[in-house]
Amino acid sequence: MDADNPNRKNRDTPQWALYQRENFWKINDGEKPLFNTEPGKLEDLAKEKLTQGGWYYASSNAGSSYTHLANRQAFYRHKIIPRQLVDTNVRTTSTTIFGHKVSAPIGFAPIGINKIYHPLGELPVAKVAKELNLPYCLSTAGSTAIEDVAAANGDGPRFYQLYMPHDDELTVSLLTRAFKSGFDVCILTTDTWQLGWRHDDVAEGNYAFYRGIGADLGLTDPVFQKRLAAAGIDPKKDPQRAGAMWIDNVWHGRAHDWSKIPWLIKTWKEISGGKPFCLKGIQSVADAKKAVEVGVDGIVVSNHAGRQVDGAIASLDALENIVAAVGDKTYIMFDSGVRGGSDVCKALALGAKFVWVGRLWVWGLSIMGEAGVRHVMKSLLADFDILMTVGGFQNVEQMMDRDILGKVSLGELLARMVKSPLIVII
């Protein structure tokens, strides 16, 4: 690839594709690329680096992993139809999400307890997100104080993902802290009042919060500190009970219902001065219509990457149904099962405006901390940028077209599964 490509100066985003050349050239300088970012090899390397508990928590899925499997199969069924002899020399990967112009329609999905993957937890992830100008979403189950994550993210675009307690004062405190720290979109996760049944985690008693690990976001909250004091718990002397009390307020096993959503929207809008509010975890058309009815600004079509309900619909299949029903009425985002630039393209073609990525950057964080996150996400951006030029896309909007996709027949899928069982597990 020509490093002096004259079109570079006319692009409004970096020429991410040059990261391929950088890695090809390293051997000449006595270096090697950091590690292989092929998803299967990436996952294997992360397994080597992580503790057993860290590996189980990062890799586990609900039940028999059938929903995780369905997510990957759905991507396989849809096929990109490339166009040729298109002038993609001044292409752009940029898009806009809730007023933020960002480098690509790709964001850092909210994932909790980052300190079980790396001692610095969420900080290096937030730093890299800012550096790449990609949205970063902080989980309520995060293992670092909201304010510290914001400092690491600098002036990067950042959203706050809420697991809503049944303690309204605590909810208000969390949202207030988030907005004061520059998180200007609230995303309520609706599918995790309690963790799904994940066999490995249960078998090993693998719950970091009950071991006194990862509750820093809660332990730094002034309202929760009052709750700890009232319960007679000193988090320094008894981190296990403090961690348990925090997470039992977050993943409490007590469902909220639609009647609570108007209060939450109103509360967030008052705190933030009218900033966007979204729901994450929507899979049914009925729920998508209800979300629009109650006034959300966006939804994330997500099955939590197959970690909550086993045997559920693939998130990509749910996306098609939901876009057909409410695609013109709200801002639709997507996550679950994304492993490369082509997956991002397919989700956009099926109607998503934005795509969240999770496990890929978790593996990078686990392998090499900040450098690992940067390598994985720059590789993903390069993959996406190269797809645009070789696939004939000048901008993201041109990917938002159902006609760019063909579809594999069920017969072909079954035949391929027989010949190559890997299709069903990657």
Residues involved in catalysis = 304
Cα–Cα distance measured from residue 81 to residue 136, given in angstroms and rounded to the nearest whole number: 31
Cα–Cα distance measured from residue 135 to residue 259, given in angstroms and rounded to the nearest whole number: 30
Measured CA angle at 209 (ends 153, 109), to 5 deg: 35
User: What does the buried/exposed string (b/e) look like for 27-63 if buried means 16 or more CB atoms within 10 Å of the residue's CB?
Assistant: eeeeeeebbebebeebbebbbebbeebbbbbbbbbbb
- Cβ count near 334 (within 10 Å): 29
- Nearest CA to 107 out of 183, 167, 40, 190 is that of 183
- Give 281's DSSP letter: E
Instruction: Give the strand pairing for 405-407 and 78-80.
Output: antiparallel
Distances in Å between the alpha carbon of 231 and those of 113, 171, 228, 242, 246? Answer: 24, 19, 5, 10, 12
Secondary structure of residue 407 in the 3-state scheme = strand
Q: How far is CA 333 from the centre of its chain?
A: 10
CB-CB contact of 301 with 350 (8 Å): no
Phi-psi region of 190 (alpha: psi -120 to 50; beta: other; left: phi over 0): alpha
Measured CA angle at 402 (ends 401, 407), to 5 deg: 145
Q: Is the dihedral of CA 242, 244, 246, 248 positive or negative?
A: negative
